């Protein structure tokens, strides 16, 4: 009997430790869902993505390309992965949204000067900006980062904890050495942006790093770069499902893997980050043309 009691106490202590560890962890995820599952027509992909997201057990999720979404439809998604709260930016075009296990305080819907718009919400004691920057213009993205930096300056006056997450459509200087100027990715980008200048995605024959540098110099911290190495671990676009539209092989898509999705955090949160990943493995190959990014924090 004594041994049984000892074993029971040991079992309860282990489970208590696991429960406490879960309570002490705060997990954030960002996911561009590719044209709102073909503007609502691809119900199978939506169901598969819901199932994957549910398994992640995230506390807060930022979403991009919520095309043909209503607040009610976003709430359906939220509840499918265990979130009771959600906020949608707009019901037209390429919208962003946020879902959460905890109540969401809507602070601002940022539309003016933004291509797709951005969403400012507060959850628990953290301010969130969910963003989706211009996909085809360096000039427009540089304008957007100025708008968002001004918003962050206002946030910082009252709260040191803030996160900017989403599809930045921009490249990080931390990845510059991973892009081969003679490789398939850069050759394709140079050809498709020839003669566009700042109205395209290539400047002086290479990617523009000014947009992400603007966020980094705020300062915001790119937590994924702290926990990953190489584009094989960091690449967030293109997903292999894109081959069904672009007529590319899986190998061709992998050859132009690059990183444009990020979770950027304030100084008060970076040391609390316990891990960050780009989920670009096989389980996500066919769910979206972007791969999701997650980060976990200790409370």
Domains of the chain: 25-298 (3.60.10.10)
* pLDDT interval class at 19 (50, 70, 90): very low
Residue range 30-51: mean pLDDT, rounded: 98
Question: pLDDT digits over 221-266, tens only?
Answer: 999 999 999 999 999 999 999 999 999 999 999 999 999 999 999 9
Question: pLDDT digits over 177-193, tens only?
Answer: 999 999 999 999 999 99
The pLDDT assigned to 16 comes to: 41
Question: pLDDT digits over 70-129, tens only?
Answer: 999 999 999 999 999 999 999 999 999 999 999 999 999 999 999 999 999 999 999 999
- The tally of CA atoms less than 13 A away on the side-chain side of residue 137 is 12
CA atoms of 90 and 221, how far apart (whole Å): 28
The per-residue b/e assignment along 138-177, b for 16 or more CB within 10 angstroms, e otherwise, is: bebbbbbbeebeebbeebbeeeebbbbbbbbbbbbebbee
Task: Inform me whether the pLDDT recorded for 284 exceeds 50.
Answer: yes
First CA to last CA distance, the chain: 39
* pLDDT interval class at 291 (50, 70, 90): very high
The pLDDT assigned to 125 comes to: 97
Task: Inform me whether the pLDDT recorded for 15 exceeds 50.
Answer: no
The pLDDT assigned to 22 comes to: 52
Indicate the burial class of 193 (C-beta count within 10 angstroms; 0-12, 13-18, 19 or more): middle
Share above pLDDT 70 across residues of the chain, in percent, rounded to a whole number: 92
The pLDDT assigned to 150 comes to: 98
* pLDDT interval class at 299 (50, 70, 90): confident
Question: pLDDT digits over 161-170, tens only?
Answer: 999 999 999 9
- Mean pLDDT (the chain) is 93
């Amino acid at each position: 009997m004594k041994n049984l009691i000892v074993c029971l106490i040991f079992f309860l202590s282990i489970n208590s430790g696991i429960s406490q560890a879960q309570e002490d962890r705060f997990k954030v995820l960002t996911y561009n869902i590719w044209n709102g599952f073909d503007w609502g027509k691809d119900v199978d992909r939506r169901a598969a993505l819901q199932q994957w997201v549910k398994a992640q057990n995230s506390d807060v999720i930022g979403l991009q390309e919520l095309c043909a979404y209503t607040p009610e439809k976003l709430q359906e998604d939220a509840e499918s992965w265990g979130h009771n709260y959600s906020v949608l930016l707009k019901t037209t075009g390429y919208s962003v949204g946020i879902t959460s296990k905890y109540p969401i305080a809507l602070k601002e819907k940022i539309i003016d000067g933004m291509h797709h718009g951005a969403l400012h919400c507060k959850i628990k004691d953290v301010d969130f900006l969910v963003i989706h920057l211009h996909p085809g213009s360096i000039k427009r993205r540089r304008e957007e980062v100025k708008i968002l930096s001004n918003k962050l300056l206002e946030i910082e006056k009252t709260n040191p904890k803030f996160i900017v997450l989403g599809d930045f459509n921009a490249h990080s200087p931390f990845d510059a050495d991973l892009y081969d100027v003679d490789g398939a990715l850069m050759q394709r980008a140079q050809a498709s942006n020839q003669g566009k200048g700042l109205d395209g995605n290539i400047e002086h024959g290479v990617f523009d790093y000014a947009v992400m540098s603007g966020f980094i110099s705020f300062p915001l911290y790119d937590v994924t770069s702290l926990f990953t190495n190489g584009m094989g671990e960091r690449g967030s676009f293109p997903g292999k499902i894109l081959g069904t539209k672009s007529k590319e092989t899986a190998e061709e898509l992998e050859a132009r893997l690059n990183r444009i999705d990020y979770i950027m955090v304030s100084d008060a949160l970076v040391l609390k980050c316990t891990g960050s990943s780009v989920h670009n493995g096989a389980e996500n190959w066919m769910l979206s043309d972007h791969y999701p990014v997650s980060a976990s924090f200790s409370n």
